[in-house]
Amino acid sequence: MVGAIVVFVVIFSLLVLAHEAGHFWAARRVGIKIDEFGIGFPPRIKSFKRRGVVYSFNWIPFGGFVKLHGESGEDIPDKMAFSSKTPLERIWVIISGVLMNFLVGMVLLMIGFWLRMPPLVTPVEQLVGATNQVESKVVVMKIVENSPAASANLVAGDFILGSGEVIFSTPNDFKDFLTDKAGKQTSFLIGREGEELVVDITPASSTEGVIIGAWIDRSIEKVSYVWWKVPWLAVKEIGMLLLVISQAITGLIYQLFTTATIPADLSGPVGIARITVDLMRLGWMRILQFIIFLSLNLGIINLVPFPGLDGGRLAFVLVEMARGGRKLSTSTENAVNTVGFLLIVLLVLVVTYKDVLKII
């Protein structure tokens, strides 16, 4: 568990740093002075200054930050201040972090596809013409009580690899094999947590045919893509992922504001660390999928128009434009951002508390 937490912290920190690097690059492009680029959060361990920017290394190793000159809403008579730039320039700097997260997800997805990683949301059947070969296994999703599978001690997450010389790639392969096996003890090769073992199961007859009492599904392991089609496939997959994530986050926000309740399946840092444990058992490809999904999540969440997030800062600029260039007072903007930040911290603490209770 400790190792998984370290892996999660490293992954999340790198994604946050990529996000902040997006702000850094865009700010430089439009001529905004950068006061500090921090790795981690204070208290500070060490720092150095280069070309007017303080680069700091801090004790809390969870991401990082970019401090832009004049970003707190105050009007500074300095052409290199964030507040002195045009609304469009400020919008570009604000959304650049999100765009960087999307770019990271896109690049990693292309690399993953070239390394035969399965798609995250698109059914592989829809990729006909874009793939040369699909490698898959039969995975156990759930075990029915008092069934042959339960008696043989199968568990959810097991792979039913084959029997004798027969290899199962799809649930239909497995079901076809069972057709004449009712009442006959049969040996199956099972994959469990990277190891293989042989299990004897006696299938039973039912109104649905010959069964072992397990819900099964197809687990896509590797996909060989037509290499030159990968960039376009990645663009479509990113679009699908952004749609799925946006719908999930919209549903979360709707539930929070209409019922004042938190979805039971919402996870915080502790819950995500537990997910990381499971993914580490499944191999590096699942970890790569997780990083892609997390990067896109980070980008979408930051676009939510809530104080303390990039979307909140964007909302202030849009309000300013709607008011004909008249900004809200610095005190109002800072107060709203402070309240928003505290609410975000409160939400993280509540979700973390629920995650801990699940472990206990």
Structural domain of 348 = 2-33+69-123+227-359
**Domain match, 167 and 302 both:** no
Q: What is the pLDDT of residue 353?
A: 67
Alpha carbon of 18 to those of 115, 264, 339: distances in Å? 23, 30, 26
In a domain, 310, yes or no: yes
* Distance in angstroms between the alpha carbons of the first and the last residue of the chain: 14
Identify the pLDDT of residue 17. 92
Task: Give this prediction's pTM.
Answer: 0.80
**Residues 294, 335: one domain?**
yes
Torsion, Cα of 53, 54, 55, 60 (10° steps): -140
Burial class (CB in 10 A: 0-12, 13-18, 19+), 48: exposed
What's the pLDDT tens digit per position in 143-160? Answer: 988 899 999 999 888 999
Query: What is 65-92 written as a DSSP string?
Result: EEEETTTTS---S-TTSGGGS-HHHHHH
CA gap 201, 212 in Å, rounded: 7
Residue positions counted in the chain: 360
User: For position 101, what pLDDT does the model report?
Assistant: 96
Report pLDDT digits (tens) over 24-41.
999 999 999 999 999 888
Residue 40 lies in a domain: no
Residue 61 or 228, more confident: 228
At 184 the pLDDT is 92
- Helix and strand totals (H; E) in the chain: 9, 10
pLDDT at 336: 81
Q: Is residue 44 part of a domain?
A: no
What does the pLDDT look like over 104-122, one tens digit per residue?
Answer: 999 999 999 999 998 988 8
Residue 235 and residue 188 share a domain: no
Q: Are residues 312 and 177 part of one domain? A: no
pLDDT digits (tens, 9 = 90+) for 192-224: 887 899 999 999 988 888 899 999 988 888 888
Assess if residue 164 is contained within a domain. Answer: yes
